[in-house]
Amino acid sequence: MQDREIENSMGDTGFKKLSERDKKHIWHPLTQHQTAAPRLGIVKAEGALIWDEEGNEYIDGIASWYTAMYGHCHPHIVNALTKQMNTLDFVMFSGFTHQPAIDLSEKLIELLPKNQEKLFFNDNGSTAIEAGIKMAMQYYHNKGIKRNTLIAFENGFHGDTFAAMSASGLSSYNGPFEDFLLQVKRIPVPQEDTIDEVIQALETIIAENSCIAFVFEPLVQGAAGMKFHSAKGLDTLIKKCRENDILTLADEIMTGFGKTGKNFASDHLHHKPDIICLSKALTAGMFPLSITSCSLQVYNAFLSDEVSKGFFHAHTFSAHPLGCTAALASLELLNAAEIVDRREYIEEAHRQFVAKIEGHDKVESARSIGVILAVDLKIKSDRYGSLRDELYTFFMKEGVNLRPLGNTIYTLPPYVITDAQLQKIYNVIVQALELF
């Protein structure tokens, strides 16, 4: 990167580094500031690469939390946003509508599972889950049915707002708030050899509780360490819920838009969820936006001459025209020939890498689905323990942005990553196996 580009990024604040200026006022997420190192100042991004203020280059091996799947600053999305912001920047979505939202609704419904018919717009992944759980709760309230219990997987993660935290099962995020959360009963994720016992656990919960909805990450639990579970087992759980008039809510915030080899993880299932939550790759990271979609069965429960039976839930920036435009441009790329080719290449490269390292004496397990690759080390580590920090520091020094989850190293690269960049990710993972 040119020195002038770095100087320009400092504006009128002299030569003080971004990482130094950052410390004065900013409180970062997932950070213990008493012990954390200074945050790295990033000044530029393009394709699968990001650059810091010193001019160092890094491969974004996790697409910035599984979001920039078409690479950073993709010109197709940038051009669409630039055109839109000169036409309609923003208008409230209560009482008004606009073309980007309508176009997006029509395009997205074509791609979603066929039982999805209505879209509700939110700001981010957590608020998409929040809206989805509130929809499920009010669905029964509007029918005059009292229910009070959610069903969720052990070790799931669905966000940081209160209903989303309630459905989540990771105490490292929820610990201080557990006395205030909704009532939730948990079941283990089904594996091929545990389906019957998980179904039995679900049946017991249904028999002993008034259940609202089953909330789940389909096929892959992201924050749990990219843990996979059986599509057949999940399908059976959804079927059982449907037989007992319990709504099902799929959290596709991480898995959606091609990451598991299909447009949505729910496409691997025969029985489709009633509610689906989307964010992250929805706009390729270009704009904060999320969507909670649902079936007509859910939507129709809110239709009434009684105003109070409407869904009185709102976000100021719902269906932001720029966010909808970014999402539309992203969807145009999702199944474009060159992106599909790269998705298939990454999927096959991951399979070959898993075969190469799964017998390594430091590897507990290795697995992949679609563009998601995860490697569990035979070393115990807390989620934010010293091993995780040492691995992260090593990867960054080698020019690769990977954020291990405890003892799990994973990559979920942008679809546009080059062969050489992907190989470098594999190489640094192998190097880490020899060093740690």
Phi, psi (deg, nearest 5) at residue 232: -60, -45
For range 266-289, the mean pLDDT: 98
Instruction: Read off the amino acid at residue 334.
Output: L
For range 398-423, the mean pLDDT: 97
The yes-or-no verdict on residue 340 having pLDDT over 90 is yes
The pLDDT assigned to 385 comes to 75
The yes-or-no verdict on residue 6 having pLDDT over 70 is no
In DSSP terms, 430 is beta-bridged to: none
The yes-or-no verdict on residue 4 having pLDDT over 50 is no
Neighbour tally for 254: CB within 10 Å = 26
The pLDDT assigned to 14 comes to 58
The Cα–Cα gap between 336 and 276 comes to 24
Query: Which tens digit of pLDDT belongs to each residue from 365-400?
Result: 999 999 999 999 998 777 767 889 999 999 999 999
Under 8 Å between Cβ of 76 and 26:
no
The yes-or-no verdict on residue 432 having pLDDT over 50 is yes
The Cα–Cα gap between 321 and 301 comes to 28
The yes-or-no verdict on residue 143 having pLDDT over 90 is yes
Residue matched to tokens 């959804």: 238
The Cα–Cα gap between 396 and 296 comes to 47
The yes-or-no verdict on residue 5 having pLDDT over 80 is no
Rg (CA), the chain: 22
Model confidence at 58, in pLDDT bands (50, 70, 90)? very high
Residue matched to tokens 């399908």: 235
The pLDDT assigned to 13 comes to 52
State how far the alpha carbon of 378 is from the alpha carbons of 359, 362, 409, in Å: 12, 5, 12
Largest CA distance in the chain: 67
Under 8 Å between Cβ of 117 and 294:
yes
H or E segment to which residue 58 belongs: strand 57-60
Query: Which tens digit of pLDDT belongs to each residue from 281-325?
Result: 999 999 999 999 999 999 999 999 999 999 999 999 999 999 999
The pLDDT assigned to 165 comes to 95
For range 117-127, the mean pLDDT: 97
Residue 188, C-beta contacts closer than 8 angstroms, at least 6 positions apart: 153, 154, 194, 198, 201
